[in-house]
Structure 1
């Protein structure tokens, strides 16, 4: 993949803040005319740099105020066990993020639920029923200090 130039990085930075900006506004802000700017955006999409356009929804506003970070240790770390775990949790809508980790835990999950009772249900009906899970450690977020989905791609 070719490296991103300063204009590409500026386009990405702007689109990460507001993907509904018009192509003309984007072009004006990066110093291009609309047609070349549109070609660059399309190329960034084709190359897989821009993977999708989404609407960010306020978690509390839709009744999901509780964020739980869950550390998972598996009984074994064989490829088939890791793959089975990943396939299982990938279908659960409560799991927003899942990372395969180094260190004492195998996975770190971020789960959102409406309340503690819903988390208990999630734990009992889904997570504890997975084969090969050796331990589960849950930490509840008390507040969100920072949240960003924007990667720091701006030209330095």
Structure 2
């Protein structure tokens, strides 16, 4: 894997803002012609810096305007339990992300749903498959910041 330079980081920054941006529009912004710019983007994809290109959808317009964070504690920390939990979560499309944490909570789930009744259905699906010590649900009142853009300034010296 090659070390990224300032041009690579600028390309990544532009694509984080709009993944559908044509190479012909990216190239002049990074002081490259189209072909070398396209090659860099291909390399960034091949090397895994760009994992995927997606469309960000409007939750409210698609009737999943309720955001829930679920904090989970477990007594069982075995690999078998973790794999069962991971497999269960993978099958539930309302769960957008799952994190294993340090501290007083073991796992944090991020869900989007149309309403509390839909959350209750997901909750029942989870507890039917996996046992937990404690489940605490937090319903978001307002989204104050949401981005998928990661900060690129920590990559290291260029």
Do the two structures share a fold, i.e. TM-score over 0.5? yes
- For residue 73 of structure 1, what is the aligned residue in structure 2? 73
Q: Does 1:142 align with 2:141?
A: yes
Distance 1:78 1:96 in 2: 24
Q: Does 1:119 align with 2:119?
A: yes
- Whether the 8 Å CA contact 2:67–2:111 is kept in 1: the answer is yes
- For residue 44 of structure 2, what is the aligned residue in structure 1? 44
How far 1:133 sits from its partner (Å)? 1.6
Distance 1:72 1:44 in 2: 36
How far 1:132 sits from its partner (Å)? 2.8
Q: Which range moves more in the overlay, 113-122 or 4-13?
A: 113-122
Q: Does 1:64 align with 2:47?
A: no
- For residue 54 of structure 1, what is the aligned residue in structure 2? 54
Structure 1 unaligned regions, length at least 5: none
Structure 2 unaligned regions, length at least 5: none
How far 1:75 sits from its partner (Å)? 2.1
Distance 1:48 1:131 in 2: 33
State the superposition RMSD in angstroms.
Answer: 1.4
1:88-121 CA-partner distances (Å, limit 9, x unpaired): 1011100001001111111100011101111112
How far 1:129 sits from its partner (Å)? 1.0
Deviation beyond 4 Å, 4+ runs, structure 1: none
- Whether the 8 Å CA contact 2:74–2:134 is kept in 1: the answer is yes
SS across alignment from 1:138: strand
Q: Does 1:82 align with 2:90?
A: no
How far 1:84 sits from its partner (Å)? 1.4
Distance 2:94 2:71 in 1: 15
How far 1:17 sits from its partner (Å)? 0.4
How far 1:131 sits from its partner (Å)? 2.6
Q: Report the count of equivalent residues.
A: 155
- For residue 109 of structure 1, what is the aligned residue in structure 2? 109
SS across alignment from 1:62: coil
- Whether the 8 Å CA contact 2:63–2:114 is kept in 1: the answer is yes
